[in-house]
């Protein structure tokens, strides 16, 4: 490999888009279809794509967005929590990763970012040589169902109580299917908004964003659980041979007694054809973690790079200080 050059781009040339869609470390959030969905609710001018070049060839890339709030700017490798770390087209990854992190640090200082984070995935999630030198790191835990030996082997690994939970929905009149109409997405979105209100989520993306994710060629699918004609639960996920990632959902309180949500996960596991199903993060909710582990999901540690703040004004310093205090209080 020759001496690498890293650049910060405002868009994705065709060869960079191909790398992000096919390289090691790619996820549903690094493809062009997901990027175009984001354009419908985020300013396209806030795109950033850090690319390491070996001559004229891109060998690694990290795409993300600037989030602007209260006069400050934060970098996110796509929406917070989305698996979208560096993607590689080379086996000599350490030098390419170092070039990307160095360019990101330069731009962060030039633009005065107040922080941000990058949720690592693929090679960068497991190989510490691909992490930025001296970076502050934290971790979260996702839960995955191992389907590599088949769905029957996964079901057989569950406790008797776990298998009973999966069997109860059908006996209680729940029908699970893949969604085919926009009205079913709208109904699931209404459940999600109410769920977000109960959980105190500050930001909810518009329905149009999720509708865009279901437009071809995006690999997203929506599965719904109904009682009669009424939708009580829905899950939006991204399907690939390696992994189906369950990223977004909405569920009614009525879904719980009929076991609609776990039955939907069982249906997805049986029909997706993936080697594993990623149930995502639990947001620190112990009950959600217990639910996932009751389905036989094993926790996997997900490293997250915390970007340092480059506050230029007293107002920005106050924003950084206040955010740190809020985080500290939440972690207690």
pLDDT, tens digit (0-9, with 9 covering 90-100), for 220-248:
899 999 999 999 999 999 998 999 999 99
Q: Chain-wide mean pLDDT for the chain?
A: 90
288-312 confidence digits (pLDDT tens): 888 898 889 999 999 999 999 999 8
How does DSSP classify residue 147?
-
pTM for the whole structure: 0.88
160-171 and 286-294 helices cross at what angle (nearest 10)? 90
Q: Specify the long-range contacts of residues 321-325, CB closer than 8 Å, at least 24 apart.
A: 323/114, 323/115
Of the listed ranges 168-182, 188-202, 262-276, the least confidently predicted one is: 188-202
Residue 62, beta-bridge partner list? 50
Helix/strand number for the chain, H first, E second:
11, 13
Average pLDDT over residues 132-154: 93
φ, ψ dihedrals at 307, nearest 5°: -80, 140
- Is pLDDT of 60 > 80? yes
Locate 103 and state its tokens: 């360019």
For the chain, domains (ranges, CATH) are: 4-138+305-331 (3.40.630.30), 149-274 (3.40.630.30)
Q: Which is it for the CA torsion 212, 214, 219, 220, positive or negative?
A: positive
What whole-number distance in Å separates Cα of residue 188 and Cα of residue 232? 8
Q: What percent of the chain has pLDDT over 70?
A: 97
What whole-number distance in Å separates Cα of residue 177 and Cα of residue 192? 18
φ, ψ dihedrals at 47, nearest 5°: -70, 145
Looking at residue 36, its pLDDT comes to 87
Determine contact, residues 52/58, Cβ cutoff 8 Å.
yes
What whole-number distance in Å separates Cα of residue 36 and Cα of residue 173? 38
What whole-number distance in Å separates Cα of residue 94 and Cα of residue 258? 49
């Amino acid at each position: 490999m020759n001496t690498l050059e890293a650049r910060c781009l405002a868009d994705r040339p065709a060869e960079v888009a191909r790398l992000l869609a096919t390289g090691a470390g790619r996820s549903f959030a690094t493809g062009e279809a997901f990027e175009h969905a984001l354009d419908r609710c985020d300013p396209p001018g806030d795109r950033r794509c850090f690319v390491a070049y070996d001559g004229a060839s891109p060998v690694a890339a990290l795409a993300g967005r600037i989030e602007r709030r209260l006069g400050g700017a934060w970098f996110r490798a796509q929406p917070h929590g989305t698996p979208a770390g560096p993607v590689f087209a080379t086996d000599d990854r350490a030098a390419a990763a170092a070039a990307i992190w160095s360019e990101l640090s330069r731009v962060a200082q030039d633009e005065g970012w107040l922080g941000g984070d990058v949720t690592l995935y693929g090679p960068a999630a497991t190989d510490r040589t691909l992490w930025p030198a001296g970076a502050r790191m934290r971790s979260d835990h996702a839960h995955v169902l191992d389907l590599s030996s088949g769905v029957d082997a996964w079901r057989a690994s569950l406790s008797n109580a776990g298998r009973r939970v999966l069997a109860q929905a059908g006996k209680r009149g729940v029908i699970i299917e893949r969604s085919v109409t926009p009205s079913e997405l709208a109904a699931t979105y209404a459940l999600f908004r109410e769920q977000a209100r109960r959980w105190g989520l500050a930001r909810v993306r518009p329905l149009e964003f999720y509708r865009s994710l279901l437009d071809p060629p995006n690999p997203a699918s929506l599965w719904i659980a109904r009682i009669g004609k009424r939708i009580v639960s829905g899950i939006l996920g991204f399907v690939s041979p390696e992994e189906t990632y369950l990223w977004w959902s909405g569920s009614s309180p009525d879904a719980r007694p009929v076991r609609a949500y776990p039955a939907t996960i069982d249906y997805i596991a049986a029909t997706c054809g993936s080697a594993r199903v990623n149930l995502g993060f639990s947001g620190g909710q112990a009950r959600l973690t217990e639910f996932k582990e009751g389905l036989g999901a094993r926790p996997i540690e997900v490293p997250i790079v915390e970007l340092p703040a480059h506050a230029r004004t007293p107002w920005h310093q106050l924003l950084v200080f206040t955010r740190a205090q809020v985080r500290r209080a939440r972690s207690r």
